[in-house]
């Protein structure tokens, strides 16, 4: 279980870095999101969205106002 909490913290850090305009390792974020998707069915939909967004070319993800 500890390992999964580390995955959550790492993915959160990556997403925060992305939000703040820093470069990120999208492959790592995608891997973490798919891993969490499999481990936690309650958040699987959200993790799938994150994983798929990480497949998009830089700058094409939908911006939020």
The pLDDT assigned to 34 comes to 96
Question: To 10 degrees, the CA torsion angle through 51, 55, 57, 62?
Answer: -40
Determine, yes or no, domain membership for 64: no
Determine, yes or no, domain membership for 65: no
Q: Domain of residue 39: give its range.
A: 2-10+23-53
- Number of folded domains that form the chain: 1
The count of other CB atoms within 10 Å of the CB of residue 13 is 12
pLDDT of 64 above 50: no
Higher-pLDDT residue of 63, 25? 25
pLDDT of 11 above 60: yes
Average pLDDT over residues 9-36: 96
Determine, yes or no, domain membership for 30: yes
Determine, yes or no, domain membership for 58: no
């Amino acid at each position: 279980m500890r390992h999964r909490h580390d995955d959550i913290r790492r993915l959160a850090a990556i997403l925060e870095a992305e939000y703040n305009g820093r470069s990120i390792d999208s492959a790592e974020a995608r891997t973490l999101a798919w891993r969490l998707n499999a481990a936690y069915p309650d958040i699987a939909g959200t993790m799938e969205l994150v994983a798929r967004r990480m497949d998009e070319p830089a700058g094409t993800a939908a911006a939020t106002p």
